[in-house]
Amino acid sequence: MAFALSSMKVTSSAFADHQAIPAKHTGEGEDVSPALAWQGAPEGTKGFAVICHDPDAPLVKDGNYGFVHWVLYNLPGDIQELTEKTAVGTVGANDKGDTGYCGPMPPEGHGKHLYYFWVLALDHQTSLPEGLTLTELLKEVEPNLLGMNRLVGTYQRG
């Protein structure tokens, strides 16, 4: 799969790149998705998908490592932001066992984890069914990927 970074810039009003994610957006807080914004999507972008993944989580599932916190897709190509606790798009499966956003909550004593909030720019508007896993989503969108970039947040349990 050709997942190369693009010049698209991803930001959040909740936290800066490589800075702490506020407790509100974690499993220890209100567990609501943070606001995200992006600029500089590649020319020809007609849709987006968003993923949040923790590669530091001690989990191997179906041959993949880490913990999937959020899979969101079918996002229109004319948006450049998601509000906090967004209702836009279609939710996929997370590794907690349900759908939608599942905030950071690494094992106690496991140190600081990195959380990658990826935005994928696609060359068409998708209309995929709810509940796709990260692997299923990537299989569907890989041929249509124009570019991607991420915002990295950190979180450590007390």
Which of 2-6, 42-46, 117-121 is predicted with the least confidence, judged by mean pLDDT?
2-6
Q: What does pTM read for this prediction?
A: 0.94
Predicted confidence (pLDDT) per residue in 131-148, tens digit: 999 999 999 999 999 999
Tell me if 70 sits within 8 A of 32, measured CB to CB: no
Q: Hey, what domains does the chain have and what are their CATH numbers? A: 9-145 (3.90.280.10)
* Listed residue (110, 128, 123, 151) closest to 13, CA to CA: 151
Smallest CA-to-CA distance from 135 within 96, 103, 105, 92 is with 92
